[in-house]
Amino acid sequence: MISVPSRDITTNNGARIGAQPIALAAATLLVIVVGVASIALWRAYTGTSPELERAAAARQLQTRAAQASEQLVEKTKGLEATQQESIDQLQVIQDQLQTVRRVLAAQQADSKRLSEQVSGLTEAIEGLRQSFASVQANEPAPAAAARNKPVRTRAHAMRNPRQKRAKSKG
């Protein structure tokens, strides 16, 4: 085996190592420049760029959001109008209900008043019947027979009692 002094090895290796990083950096820079150039050429050739596409997509999203917002506003206004109509209809129904309640209360009061009047009339009629029954029980029988005669006959008999006597004498 040959022995090599360590100093000689490091200097030779150091020279090799120093030259390699510059070449590596140059190659890396060349790859980066070629990549950027190819991307630029590709964009120029196709005519599209992601930034423009993103901007267009953002504008479309904004347009859609604005349309959706307008639709929500319109629907909200429609709901408000429908709700107001429902409230108005409910008010009308409540007013009608109050009117019906008042009419019903008035009818009940009239019915109660009429019922009391009918009760009063029934009591008066019953009192008259009892009075009539007691008067009939106290009258003599011939008067009862005269009472059963027609009104015209009784009236005629009462008008001319002297004529009856004169006819019977002559």
Three-state SS for 16-35 is: HHHHHHHHHHHHHHHHHHHH
Would the CA dihedral through 18, 19, 24, 30 be positive or negative?
Answer: positive
pLDDT band at 9 (very low <50, low <70, confident <90, very high): very low
Cα separation, 116 vs 139, in Å, equals 35
Cα separation, 151 vs 138, in Å, equals 22
Residue 64 has pLDDT above 70, yes or no: yes
User: Which one is predicted more confidently, 72 or 165?
Assistant: 72
What is the tens place of the pLDDT at every residue in 34-44? Answer: 999 998 888 77
- Residue 147 CB contacts under 8 Å (≥ 6 apart), including other chains: 139
Cα separation, 38 vs 45, in Å, equals 10
What is the tens place of the pLDDT at every residue in 75-103? Answer: 999 999 999 999 999 999 999 999 999 99
User: Which value, in Å, is the radius of gyration of the alpha carbons in the chain?
Assistant: 64
Distances (CA, A) of 151 to 73, 145, 154, 161: 93, 12, 5, 16
pLDDT band at 157 (very low <50, low <70, confident <90, very high): low
pLDDT band at 8 (very low <50, low <70, confident <90, very high): very low
